[in-house]
Structure 1
Amino acid sequence: MTTLSKIIIAALLGALASSCNLDFKISGIKGNGNVTTEQRQVTGEYTEIKISRGLDVYLTQSDTPSISVEADENLQDVIVTEVDGDVLKIYANQNISSSASKKVMVNFDKVSRIKATSGSDVHGTNTIEGDHFVLETSSGSDMELDIQAKSIDCSSSSGSELDLSGSTTDFIASASSGSDIDAENLSTESSHVKASSGAGIKVNTSKELIATATSGGDVTYYGNPEKIEKSDNVSGSIKKH
């Protein structure tokens, strides 16, 4: 990638990161430092989880579904956990400028889709099992999960990070706008990945790799796949570790 291309991409990503973080720099409610734990009622069944607005969420697969919020006492009403259709939504209904804690602990039986956005952090506390998962991160959010599944379809954008471990047969990944997908510790058989606009993907595959890298995107692959198809231009990179 040329020096000019790097400068342009860095400038664009810097502007994007500033816009994504704007909400969290605006003055908002401050936690009072008195941390309490509140059990929330699970009012319906859900197959998707959507997290936003800078919250810290811990996901545990369990036979006993539950939701609890550990946060400053005056933030308990600000942190919303609600089921809308088949989606569990977890978010703050106003900006939180500072807090001693803003954690949400979710025990669930089965889900197929998890989405994190707007500076939220998502952590898996145990191995999550299922047939098919769709995972999405955007706008400076982070997600770290250990998954055992038949297939995983994931995407990251706008400076977010997705860190995966475990195993799957089929893996599809798309990263853009300065984001990263680290699946070095996720064992896959067949992987189709695309990195663009300064994003990076690490993938570990044994049988098939189809990879595309454009506009400063970078793909690093681990393992010795039997079949490799690569498509990269002068500003993209696909390489074996």
Structure 2
Amino acid sequence: MRSLNNLLLAAGLTMATSATIATPIKTALNYSNSYSTEDRHLTGFNAVSVSGSFDVYITQGSTESVKVDAPSNVIDRIITEVKGGVLNIYIKNNNGINWSWGKNNKMIVYVSIKNVNAVSLSGSGDVFFKDGLKATSLKLKVVGSGDISGKLDVKDLESSVSGSGDITVSGRAETSNVSVIGSGDFTGQSLATTNTSVRVAGSGDARVNAAEKIDASVTGSGDIHYTGAARNISSSKAGSGSVSRM
């Protein structure tokens, strides 16, 4: 009987050890008391793609540059690379890492760009272009809970929100195409456009401004609010949502 008990005990220990090995272990990266700044020598990009919890400040000028400001024990994990004309910003080996230094200690990236045709954000970060962006054609995209905000002077604007994030823009655009899927928001009543097409699917909201034409569609419980002098207005609804003048 003692031999049988010993065998059962050994088997149990083996199973427990195997289970321990199979369980993923999260590595905690705690907040560092010191911050570091790095100038990344990158050129040749006309679009920016951000993945993660960064604060990214984009300015437009005659030069291209990328600067990273982050806790010293994290900055080496922040990847900034250019592929196919796109500046990609993300965390290296993000899986299994517990970012635990708190929301007040941020990873900040400053980007200077000559020409821009797209800005995309995936995750919970924020992208700002307070001094404005000027372009012939510009695509803005948010996937997740992040926010994009700033001033624009563009001919053709395409904006999409998927998730709970927000896009807030002002300035002017000749044409604007807006898509909101989920619970996010597009806030563009301060963006003066000539023609606007806007689609909301889910519980999100969109606020737009057009001088001539608005094409609006709501599926779900979301709302579209419009302002401006547009008299050519077409709308469709499926669900409890609404299309109304502000």
Give the TM-score normalised by the residue count of structure 2. 0.84
| In structure 2, distance between residues paired with 1:167 and 1:174 | 18
- In structure 1, the partner of 2:117 is 112
Alignment of 1:1-241 (within 5 A): 28-42=28-42, 44-93=43-92, 94=94, 95=97, 96-98=99-101, 100-241=105-246
Give the secondary structure class of the aligned counterpart of 2:163.
coil
Count of residue pairs the alignment pairs up: 215
| In structure 2, distance between residues paired with 1:27 and 1:215 | 41
Deviations 1:47-70 (A, max 9, x none): 221001111100000112111111
| In structure 1, distance between residues paired with 2:216 and 2:58 | 30
Offset, 1:97: 2.6
- Residue 176 of structure 2 aligns with an amino acid whose one-letter code is F
Q: More deviation in 44-53 or 211-220?
A: 44-53
| In structure 2, distance between residues paired with 1:203 and 1:27 | 44
| In structure 1, distance between residues paired with 2:100 and 2:77 | 12
Contact map agreement 1:55 1:121 (CA 8 A) in 2: yes
Deviations 1:131-177 (A, max 9, x none): 00011001101110211000101100110110011100000000011
Contact map agreement 2:223 2:242 (CA 8 A) in 1: yes
Gap change, CA 1:27 and 1:122, over 3 Å in 2 = farther
Deviations 1:66-101 (A, max 9, x none): 111111111110111111121110111224332623
Offset, 1:31: 2.6
Give the secondary structure class of the aligned counterpart of 2:76.
coil
- Residue 79 of structure 1 aligns with an amino acid whose one-letter code is I
Give the secondary structure class of the aligned counterpart of 1:138.
strand
Largest Rg, 1 or 2:
2
Contact map agreement 2:173 2:194 (CA 8 A) in 1: yes
Contact map agreement 2:130 2:149 (CA 8 A) in 1: no
Q: CA RMSD in A?
A: 1.3
- Residue 37 of structure 1 aligns with an amino acid whose one-letter code is T
Give the TM-score normalised by the residue count of structure 1. 0.86
Q: Structure 2: where are the runs of 5+ without partners?
A: 1-25
| In structure 2, distance between residues paired with 1:80 and 1:230 | 44
- Residue 31 of structure 1 aligns with an amino acid whose one-letter code is Y
| In structure 2, distance between residues paired with 1:123 and 1:53 | 15
| In structure 2, distance between residues paired with 1:59 and 1:110 | 11
Q: Name the one with the larger strand percent.
A: 2
Give the secondary structure class of the aligned counterpart of 2:229.
coil
Give the secondary structure class of the aligned counterpart of 1:31.
coil
Give the secondary structure class of the aligned counterpart of 2:73.
helix
Offset, 1:234: 3.8
